[in-house]
Amino acid sequence: MERISRGLEDVDIKWTRLTTIDGERGILRYAGYSVEDLISGGASAEEIQYLFLYGELPREGELRDFVSKVERGYRVPAHVTSAISNLPRSSDAVALQMGAFASLAASERFKWDKTTDRDVAASVIGNMLTITADVYRHVNGLPLVEPDPRGGYARTFLRAALGREPTDDESRAMNAALILYMDHEVPASTTAGLVVVSTLSDIYSGVTGALAALKGPLHGGAAEAAIAQFAEIGSEDAVERWFQENIVTGKRRLMGFGHRVYRTYDPRARIFKEFAERLAPRNPDALRYYRVALRLEELGIAHFGSKGIYPNTDFWSGIVYMSMGFPLKNNIYTALFALSRITGWLAHFIEYVEEQHRLIRPRAVYTGPGERKFVPISQRS
Ligand code: SDX
């Protein structure tokens, strides 16, 4: 009976040269580079986007050429912008991103082709910047801002979303967030997108499928759900009682804790925590939630640590985003997660379809009734 690996736990579905995770030791490497090294070494998001698509860090000229392809994607067709603005302001931000990509799937004639896939991927990374900035402006009832490409991807995004010049600290934090969330092997969202592209459906539909999976609170949705828990607790001195009533009782899950692969502290969470400590004092809510999170982390590790349940990347990221000026609403933190993860999705889609393509079609173990004859309803008592 137990032929089934529930949730595909420990099932390998593809080969990859993109990302490796050591869940026991808490190690995350992109094509051999540890995330700690990339962040401390001052890598730009664009360099790592290039690394994912081409397997090596770019030289100056290669980066310039790649960035111009990404920047061409900043201009999205008018129907994509209206696909966003025609939906209610109360919409979930990730659902709005899905709507935008579904409309791209409707209009763009895409065919898998080794000579063009990476150019299309570069422009999709550009599309995602504009789409995510437009989604943010729409849910906040603000006029759209044309992306101004000065200063690189992170700064361009913040300028278009927040409608002001970002500080150096904010751009550095956004750049780090883009790198930290960029890929993570084959989590639910990447797997969902791989199923879509394995049918040779188009790259835009693959992104739409990946977004649909990311949206859930057990996955990318935790980026919002974790800080929503900090907000619900409200202050440091309320943490202990909330923890006893909600988590120790097993009534609710501690969002931002636990992981299918990591059995120790998520290396990305450590880096996000450092940015949270540095940036939170600039925003009173972020600072209050930062103090709640510190106490919650202490209780969470004391309670769950022996089970290998520790903070994951989503525990601290929301505080960093809030410190930059993104309020807690409409699942925007998960949309920011998707802005980063689109590169990983595209890289896995290309790696799979170009090098190891096979339609993904698993089986199910039948446990229903044996063969039987149809009885017309008039004879069914
Ligand atoms: C992301 O896969 C990726 O790489 C994802 C991601 C990425 O970069 O793409 O890293 C991003 O999605 C991070 C995870 C964000 N999700 C959350 O923070 C939501 C809270 N976390 C849990 O729901 C849980 O830890 C999961 C879903 C993340 C992973 O859980 P598993 O591997 O499916 O394990 P499980 O749900 O079967 O839990 C095993 C046990 C259970 O207890 P028992 O029923 O066996 O008694 O551990 C408990 C769970 O109740 N448990 C938790 C818990 N996480 C696990 N209990 C309370 N709070 C938690 N957070």
Which CATH fold would you assign to the domain 222-324?
Cytochrome p450-Terp; domain 2 (1.10.230)
Upper half-sphere CA count for residue 150 (Cβ side, 13 Å): 5
3-state secondary structure of 92: coil
**Closest ligand 1 atom to the C-alpha of 315?**
18
**Closest ligand 1 atom to the C-alpha of 9?**
32
Which residue has the least CA distance to atom 2 on ligand 1? 187
Active site residue 259: yes
The DSSP call for residue 257 is B
Ligand 1 contact, 314 CB (< 6 A): yes
Pocket test for ligand 1, best of 253, 303, 317 (most atoms within 8 A of CB): 253
pLDDT number for residue 331: 96
Phi, psi of 33 (to 5 degrees): -95, 130
Ligand 1 contact, 313 CB (< 6 A): yes
Which among 166, 161, 212 is positioned nearest to 191, based on CA atoms? 212
Ligand 1 contact, 257 CB (< 6 A): yes
Which residue has the least CA distance to atom 28 on ligand 1? 259
Active site residue 134: no
Which among 3, 2, 8 is positioned nearest to 213, based on CA atoms? 8
**Is there a contact between 312 and 259 (Cβ–Cβ < 8 Å)?**
yes
User: Which one from 134, 219, 266, 348 is the annotated catalytic residue?
Assistant: 219
pLDDT in tens, the chain (381 residues): 568 999 999 999 999 999 999 999 999 999 999 999 999 999 999 999 999 999 999 999 999 999 999 999 999 999 999 999 999 999 999 999 999 999 999 999 999 999 999 999 999 999 999 999 999 999 999 999 999 999 999 999 999 999 999 999 999 999 999 999 999 999 999 999 999 999 999 999 999 999 999 999 999 999 999 999 999 999 999 999 999 999 999 999 999 999 999 999 999 999 999 999 999 999 999 999 999 999 999 999 999 999 999 999 999 999 999 999 999 999 999 999 999 999 999 999 999 999 999 999 999 999 999 999 999 999 998
Q: How far is the CA of 258 from the centre of ligand 1 (A)?
A: 4
Sheet containing 33-34: order of strands: 19-22, 27-30, 33-34
pLDDT number for residue 2: 64
Q: According to the 3-state scheme, what is the secondary structure of 310-372?
A: CECCHHHHHHHHHHHCCCCCCCHHHHHHHHHHHHHHHHHHHHHHHHCCCCCCCCCCCCCCCCC
Active site residue 348: no
Domain ranges in the chain are: 13-220+331-355, 222-324
Which among 261, 268, 252 is positioned nearest to 300, based on CA atoms? 252
pLDDT number for residue 3: 84
The CATH class of 13-220+331-355 is mainly alpha
* pTM for this predicted structure: 0.96
Q: Which amino acid is at 212?
A: A
* Helix, strand, coil percentages for the chain (3-state, nearest 5): 60, 5, 35
Ligand 1 contact, 253 CB (< 6 A): yes
Ligand 1 contact, 229 CB (< 6 A): no
Angle, to 10 degrees, between the axis of helix 45-54 and the axis of helix 117-139? 140
